[in-house]
A and B are shown apart, each in its own frame.
Chain A
Amino acid sequence: DTAVSQTPKYLVTQMGNDKSIKCEQNLGHDTMYWYKQDSKKFLKIMFSYNNKELIINETVPNRFSPKSPDKAHLNLHINSLELGDSAVYFCASSQVASGGTDTQYFGPGTRLTVL
């Protein structure tokens, strides 16, 4: 009955490879997000999708491409991985009400290590 799930939990790969991280939420939320937690521990928004449409795309290299096949899934594909991409990536979801202050529910994170 996991609310927001991510796979894989750990990902170790070589520089230059392409990899994907999958995210699924069973909360019926209409908005999903990808965050990156870097070595300085800040959680920074990367993307936000509302009903399968890209809403927010922060300053992220175009090697990162989110894909939302339906509103319950938001996958993150990363091309040509670099050392600096090593981080923990969190998926999250929320139901964006008119007030815009709905709580975000986070997945457990995917720790990506690029060697």
Chain B
Amino acid sequence: DQQVKQNSPSLSVQEGRISILNCDYTNSMFDYFLWYKKYPAEGPTFLISISSIKDKNEDGRFTVFLNKSAKHLSLHIVPSQPGDSAVYFCAAISGGSYIPTFGRGTSLIVHP
């Protein structure tokens, strides 16, 4: 039973354009969400997070939006760069826990 779903296994975007990666969740107890970025042969690295008390968090070119009523979050990368090409994992944590539940990832390819 997937509690965190990333329904797009891959996304291809032109350099300079916006990349939008989506994530849906089913567990209403989740109250903290994270995005991790993973390059081949490396471990995931933390990118950005958002608490359920917010609906937006921005860090440079990266913005995460949270729609609690829809149980949906998205990661926007503007402008996209070739170095952003990686697998992006969405993860969620429920109150009282510190263990994230991960989605299966979306592979982003940014073409020069």
Contact = CB atoms under 8 A, between A and B. Distances in A.
A14 interface: no
B44 A106 contact: yes
B43 A4 contact: yes
A101 B43 contact: no
Nearest to B47: A103
Secondary structure of the B contact surface, majority rule: loop
A29 to B, nearest CB: 12
Interface string A31-63: 101000000111111001000000010000000
B99 interface: yes
Given A31-B98, A41-B104, A108 B49 contact: no
Contact of B43 (A94, A103, A107): A107
A106 B34 CA distance: 14
Contacts of B2: 42
Contacts of B41: 9, 108-109
B88 to A, nearest CB: 12
Contact of A106 (B45, B99, B104, B105): B45
Interface residues of B, number: 24
Given A43-B89, A100-B93, A103-B49, A94 B44 contact: no
Contacts, number: 52
B32 A45 contact: no
Interface residues of A, number: 26
B97 interface: yes
Given A104-B46, A107-B43, A108-B41, A94 B98 contact: yes
Nearest to A6: B43
Given A43-B44, A43-B89, A109-B41, A101 B98 contact: yes
Interface in A94-115: 94, 96, 100-109
A92 B2 CA distance: 22
B98 A102 contact: yes
Nearest to B2: A42
Interface of B: 2, 32, 34, 36, 41-46, 49, 51, 87, 89, 93, 96-100, 102-105
